[in-house]
Structure 1
Amino acid sequence: MQPVPDCLTMKQFVTKNFLLIILILAVGFAFAMQVTIFQTPPATPPAVAAVLPAAFTTYWQTGKAEVNTYRLEQAEAGALHKGEARLIFAVEDFRTDTQVRSETEASRDKSIPVLRANLSRQFVVGMQDYALHTSVFTPINSLVFLNTLKVSTSAQDWSGHSYRQLNYRTNEYQVTGKSYVEPEADEAYTVPKALLEDELWSRIRIAPDKLPIGEIQLIPGTMTARLRHRKLEPLAAKVKLEPYEGVLYPGKLLKAYIIEYPTDDRSLRIIFEGVFPHRIVGWAETYPSKNNLLTSRAVLKKTIQSDYWNHNAPADTSLRAELLN
């Protein structure tokens, strides 16, 4: 009996295992192209160190947050008002399905590392206290998870309070909101996927060399949209990055990331350190308020690293006083 030719054996093998071979090729192609479907995470979350320099891991994965305090002048009701701002960054595990912080071992395989940014502003307008807070959850591994997953903003003043949230779902942002203001009482709409102004603060801290430059589409910041009572939608923006040459902000080798909205009569400048860890030392935001073109400004006062969530005793108020002075 003559042996079966190698080519015939190979043909029989391919015929018998055709579906398996196609499946293997499809998985290999998806891995090579770094394809994700609806930003579903892999079984094992990607390590931070695998996509960023070691210095990033050393600085951010110490079990502490970076807390920054700023002197603030905020535009509202046609005038500038003095106040305080805080910008807090921390790395944490974030669930991609329910879009909340992972707090159990059972949810770890559904989570990815994000850089959480909390921006708060407190200021007084005449007799009224204003308090605004924005939380942004941006995946650290932008090669796999391209879009910020969630943004939430709340605002309180003597008239009432409001809340707005964006969730990234199936290639768009779902917007929900509640407010004491009649046109914003119950919001539920979607906006096309675009870069968020709110995530730029985190993008600066993660990889400033990859910031978008030129003419792009941006969804304006939720905090300013609330103060101006604007609905969220992508707008044309002109963006550039250049050295900062002024003397108002502290630090060395500073850079200015400049965003201009030609159709919205508004601009934003974020000033940050050009060297790691790229602290944000201040910002300036210009837009009309009651027909007055005003510029809100924040200038860095102090930066500390702290596990502030573990300092809840009355004696810990001394740590707060040290930070705010």
Structure 2
Amino acid sequence: MYHQILMMWAILLMISCGRPEQRENIDFERWGSYWFQGNAEISSFDLMQYRYGEAREGTAVLVYVTEDFSRNNQVKLDDPRGAGRDAQTVLKLNQTRNFITGIYPYSMMTSVFTPVRELSQAVKITSSVQEWCGQSFIQLNLSSGNSYTGQLHSYFEQEGDESFAISGLAEDDLWNLIRIDPDQIPIGGINVFPSMMYQRFTHQQLTSEEAFIRIQDITPQRRQLELTYGSGKRTLKIDFRKEFPHEIMAWEEIEIMSNGQQEVSRAERKAVKVIDYWTRNSLEDEYLRRELQLQ
């Protein structure tokens, strides 16, 4: 009997050691009542995006949805039930920005995949840019802890095709952590690397630096996350609703240029819809774009 008890404890210890650390203090029954209903949340924004020293009017869209994701391959699973322990639930954000620079258009998209129940940073981040000069694509995959391996493919000779590694909290991950639970966001000084869109705008090597994060009430209904980089060159502010499900209402990106000029890009929400958009792909479904105020 004694040996049987020891065996049982050994098995339980092996199981617990192999189980990833879980997020705490989240009511997943309430959380799932919004996020596990087979729909996505789509919100549209009026965008004022600085590019080439001038403010450009445009449109931004945030698409949030939960998915079954492969731990090993870091891709959406085709057969979650058959995947066993390889399956994990992630919150996916697809953020798009579209605006015009002179004669030609910019189309940008970043995707962020963050585990819902497991205490983990975003496991994958991708971003692409298309404009008349060409296109580029960047991908980060979480390798361990807060360390990522990355690949950049660009039409610019100086960048070309390159591989790199980086550690720290991804700025792009903050958008998902707000929606999972704002209390999951580390407050105070922390090592952060900037968003993939910012990297594409600046074409600078992606590096992490000390930054400061705070969350404060700005109205009785809204809170604001403020991320300020130690260099003083960049600040991100994201406004969101206090109450669950903490909808994103606006954001502001402040960049200090080398000449001291301040460029402020802003977005303000204009419409939101919770819907299974992937089934709404016929001509008669185009009225939904009008409801989202998308031209």
Q: Does 1:115 align with 2:84?
A: no
Report the alpha carbon displacement of residue 279 of structure 1 after superposing the two structures with TM: 0.3
Aligned twin of 1:76? 51
Report the alpha carbon displacement of residue 140 of structure 1 after superposing the two structures with TM: 0.3
Report the alpha carbon displacement of residue 107 of structure 1 after superposing the two structures with TM: 2.7
Higher strand share: 2
Secondary structure at the aligned position of 1:200 is classed as: helix
- Per-residue deviation, residues 158-210 of structure 1 (Å, max 9, x unmatched): 11000000001134201001001222211201112x21110101100111123
Aligned twin of 1:307? 276
Equivalent AA in structure 2 for residue 262 of structure 1: G
Aligned twin of 1:55? 30
The range that moved more, 288-297 or 84-93, is 288-297
Aligned twin of 2:60? 85
Equivalent AA in structure 2 for residue 265 of structure 1: K
Number of aligned positions between the proteins: 291
Distance in 1 (alpha carbons) for counterparts of 2:102 and 2:7: 69
For residues 49 and 261 of structure 1, do their structure 2 counterparts lie closer, same or farther at Cα, with a shift above 3 Å needed?
closer
Give the conservation status (yes or no) of the 8 Å contact 2:233–2:257.
no
Give the conservation status (yes or no) of the 8 Å contact 1:78–1:289.
no
Aligned twin of 2:151? 176
Q: Does 1:139 align with 2:107?
A: no
- Per-residue deviation, residues 298-321 of structure 1 (Å, max 9, x unmatched): 000011001000011111111112
For residues 163 and 264 of structure 1, do their structure 2 counterparts lie closer, same or farther at Cα, with a shift above 3 Å needed?
farther
Structure 2: unaligned runs, 5 residues or longer = none
Aligned twin of 1:273? 241
For residues 306 and 102 of structure 1, do their structure 2 counterparts lie closer, same or farther at Cα, with a shift above 3 Å needed?
same
Give the conservation status (yes or no) of the 8 Å contact 2:129–2:135.
yes
Aligned twin of 1:249? none
Give the conservation status (yes or no) of the 8 Å contact 2:271–2:291.
no
Q: Does 1:67 align with 2:42?
A: yes
Give the conservation status (yes or no) of the 8 Å contact 2:91–2:116.
yes
Aligned twin of 1:242? 216
For residues 1-325 of structure 1, the aligned pairs below 5 Å read 21=6, 24-25=9-10, 27-28=12-13, 31=16, 36=20, 52-104=27-79, 105-107=81-83, 109-143=85-119, 146-171=120-145, 172-192=147-167, 194-245=168-219, 253-263=221-231, 265-288=233-256, 291=259, 292-324=261-293
Secondary structure at the aligned position of 2:113 is classed as: strand
Equivalent AA in structure 1 for residue 175 of structure 2: W
For residues 237 and 140 of structure 1, do their structure 2 counterparts lie closer, same or farther at Cα, with a shift above 3 Å needed?
same
Give the conservation status (yes or no) of the 8 Å contact 1:162–1:180.
yes
Larger radius of gyration: 1
Structure 1: unaligned runs, 5 residues or longer = 1-9, 40-45, 246-251
RMSD: 2.6
Equivalent AA in structure 2 for residue 69 of structure 1: S
Give the conservation status (yes or no) of the 8 Å contact 1:77–1:290.
no
Distance in 1 (alpha carbons) for counterparts of 2:149 and 2:12: 30
Structure 1 segments of 4+ aligned residues over 6 angstroms from their partners: none
Distance in 1 (alpha carbons) for counterparts of 2:285 and 2:272: 17
Secondary structure at the aligned position of 2:216 is classed as: strand
Give the conservation status (yes or no) of the 8 Å contact 1:176–1:189.
yes
Report the alpha carbon displacement of residue 49 of structure 1 after superposing the two structures with TM: 12
Secondary structure at the aligned position of 1:294 is classed as: strand
- Per-residue deviation, residues 251-306 of structure 1 (Å, max 9, x unmatched): x5101100001215100000000111100001000113574321000000011001
TM-score by length of 2: 0.90
Give the conservation status (yes or no) of the 8 Å contact 1:102–1:108.
no
Equivalent AA in structure 2 for residue 99 of structure 1: Q
Give the conservation status (yes or no) of the 8 Å contact 2:126–2:138.
yes
TM-score by length of 1: 0.83
Distance in 2 (alpha carbons) for counterparts of 1:283 and 1:151: 20
Give the conservation status (yes or no) of the 8 Å contact 1:79–1:289.
no
Identity of aligned residues (%): 32
Secondary structure at the aligned position of 1:191 is classed as: strand
